[in-house]
């Protein structure tokens, strides 16, 4: 199997991960998570995995365009510069990455109400990202 086909296959697997995690979040995200620690932590984990898969996709797309992958934010900027992502989507993906970092590392503590609201706001952008990548791959 040639390298281009391997990269596309791996991108598809990561996009599937984003979609699966987004579907779980959308199905379970409600005010209940503020009272249910287990569900809240599950949502946080699913969000983390969705964002990590999105970041992996950005890096793989960049490498597929013969550019060395760098940090998550630079990879997103690269895809904006190449007109693969719109600037607004790029900013939302950067916000998602920042939230992921706060959830994992607990920077300045985590306000669950704020975090859940942000996840609710950003989960659609992760879904839209999957669509954009799939459309780009079809070209």
**Could you state, in order of their start, the residue ranges of all structural domains in the chain?**
3-138
Q: Which residues of 72-105 are buried (b: 16+ CB within 10 A; e: fewer)?
A: beebbbbbbeeebbeeebbebbeebbbbbebbee
pLDDT tens for each residue of 17-67: 999 999 999 999 988 899 999 999 999 999 999 999 999 999 999 998 999
Give the C-alpha separation, 121 to 118, whole Å.
Answer: 5
- CA angle (127 as vertex; 121, 129 as ends), nearest 5: 105
Burial status of residue 132 (CB atoms within 10 A of its CB: 0-12, 13-18, 19 or more): middle
Structure confidence at residue 2 as a pLDDT band (50, 70, 90): confident
What confidence score (pLDDT) does residue 24 get?
Answer: 97
Determine if residue 6 is left, alpha or beta; phi over 0 gives left, psi from -120 to 50 gives alpha, anything else beta: alpha
Q: The tokens of 18 are what?
A: 């984003």
Calculate the dihedral angle through the C-alpha atoms of 75, 79, 80, 81, rounding to the nearest 10 degrees.
100
pLDDT per residue over 85-124, tens digit each?
Answer: 999 999 999 999 999 999 998 867 889 999 999 999 999 9
In 10 A of CB 135, how many CB atoms?
10
Domain with residues 3-138, CATH architecture: Up-down Bundle (1.20)
pLDDT value for 1? 63
Per the CB < 8 A criterion, the answer to whether 118 and 125 are in contact is: no
pTM of the model: 0.94
Given this model, what pLDDT does residue 31 score? 85
């Amino acid at each position: 199997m040639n390298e281009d086909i391997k990269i596309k296959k791996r991108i598809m697997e990561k996009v599937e991960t984003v979609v699966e995690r987004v579907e779980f979040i959308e199905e379970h995200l409600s005010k209940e998570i503020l009272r249910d620690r287990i569900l809240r932590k599950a949502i946080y984990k699913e969000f983390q995995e969705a964002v990590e898969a999105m970041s992996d996709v950005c890096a793989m797309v960049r490498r597929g365009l013969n550019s060395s992958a760098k940090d998550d934010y630079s990879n997103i900027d690269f895809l904006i510069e190449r007109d693969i992502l719109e600037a607004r989507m790029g900013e939302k993906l950067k916000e998602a990455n920042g939230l992921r970092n706060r959830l994992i590392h607990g920077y300045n503590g985590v306000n669950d109400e704020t975090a859940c609201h942000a996840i609710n706001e950003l989960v659609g952008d992760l879904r839209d990202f999957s669509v954009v990548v799939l459309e780009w791959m079809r070209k």
